């Protein structure tokens, strides 16, 4: 099954994508993670993306379309995949179509802006292993320290309050129109993204089977 997770940044797409990927035994592909990894490794693509990502702006379409083309060509995508954070613009969705990729379901995780802002500004991540925590909802055992590898947790630059406001604006202006794009194909399912992770997962599974 080829699945897209839509929704504002911080709506919980990543968490759900990981859970569903495990359940269906297919890879989850997060353009945000791929870009952050490139940034960390100082590759040419990472350098190109740096200013955009730190300002909460979208990385240019041709860069992310290139990333996705390369990733989807790998063998592990043969039995399906989950796209988390791609497409984020209409031209990106059109690029998928023109690559001949058939999408089975598009799950939109819907969370009000105020809840998103609270989640994102409270998020803390491990710079070494990538594990994600939250000051209120998912505290590490020892404050400020990664449970998995012991590194000191940091706030992503793009999770700072002023950048979060910009990211939400970018989402409403450029990504939300994708709902209309996919609604027209009959593949869009909307899931309310408030509540426990388990409850939301149950709704996502139902939406995928429906
Ligand atoms: P995420 O972790 O998915 O919120 O992505 C973090 C940042 O990576 C975004 O704010 C963008 O700057 C960039 N990014 C990730 N995916 C895309 C995409 N599909 N199109 C453009 N920029 C993206």
- Listed as own residue / partner, the contacts of 139-143 with beta carbons closer than 8 Å and 24 or more positions apart are none
Ligand 1 cavity residues, CB under 6 Å: 9, 30-32, 35, 52-53, 56-59, 64, 85-86, 88, 92, 158, 167
Measure 32 CA to ligand 1 centroid, in angstroms.
Answer: 5
Q: Quick check: 86 and 2 in contact, CB under 8 A?
A: no
Pick the catalytic residue: 36, 71, 167, 203? Answer: 167
Is 124 one of the annotated active-site residues of the chain?
no
- pLDDT value, residue 106: 97
Which tokens in the block code for residue 104? 């089975």
Is 189 one of the annotated active-site residues of the chain?
no
Query: Cα separation of 129 and 149, whole Å?
Result: 7
Which tokens in the block code for residue 3? 């699945």
Q: Map tokens 């990502």 to a residue.
A: 53
Is 119 one of the annotated active-site residues of the chain?
no
Helix (H, G, I), strand (E, B), or coil: what is residue 81?
strand
Mutate which of 7, 38, 85 for ligand 1? The one with the most ligand atoms within 8 Å of its CB, which is 85
201 closest CA partner among 25, 16, 22? 16
Is 36 one of the annotated active-site residues of the chain?
no
Measure 54 CA to ligand 1 centroid, in angstroms.
Answer: 10
Is 13 one of the annotated active-site residues of the chain?
yes
Q: pTM (2 decimals)?
A: 0.87
Q: Which residues lie below 8 Å from residue 176, measured CB to CB, with a gap of 6+?
A: none
Write down the H helix ranges in the chain: 13-24, 31-41, 44-54, 61-72, 90-98, 113-122, 161-170, 177-183, 197-209
pLDDT 10s per residue in the chain (210 long)?
999 999 998 888 988 999 999 999 999 999 999 998 999 899 988 998 998 988 889 999 999 999 999 999 999 999 999 999 999 999 999 999 999 999 999 999 999 999 999 888 999 999 999 898 999 888 999 999 999 999 999 998 888 888 888 899 999 999 999 999 999 889 999 999 999 899 999 999 999 998
């Amino acid at each position: 099954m080829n699945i897209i997770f839509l929704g504002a940044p911080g709506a919980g797409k990543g968490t759900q994508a990981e859970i569903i990927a495990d359940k269906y035994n297919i890879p989850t592909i997060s353009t945000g993670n791929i870009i952050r990894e490139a940034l960390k490794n100082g590759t040419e693509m990472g350098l190109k993306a740096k200013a955009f990502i730190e300002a909460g702006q979208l990385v240019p379409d041709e860069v992310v379309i290139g990333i996705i083309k390369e990733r989807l060509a790998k063998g592990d995508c043969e039995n399906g995949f989950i796209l988390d954070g791609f497409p984020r613009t209409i031209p990106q969705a059109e690029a998928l179509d023109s690559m001949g990729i058939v999408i089975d379901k598009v799950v939109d995780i819907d969370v009000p802006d105020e809840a998103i802002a609270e989640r994102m500004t409270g998020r803390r991540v491990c710079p070494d292993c990538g594990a994600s925590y939250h000051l209120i909802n998912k505290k590490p055992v020892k404050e400020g320290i990664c449970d998995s590898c012991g590194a000191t947790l940091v706030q992503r630059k793009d999770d700072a309050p002023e950048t979060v406001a910009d990211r939400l604006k970018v989402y409403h202006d450029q990504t939300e129109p994708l709902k209309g794009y996919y609604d027209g194909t009959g593949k869009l399912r909307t899931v309310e993204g408030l509540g426990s992770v388990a409850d939301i997962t149950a709704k996502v599974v139902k939406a995928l089977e429906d």
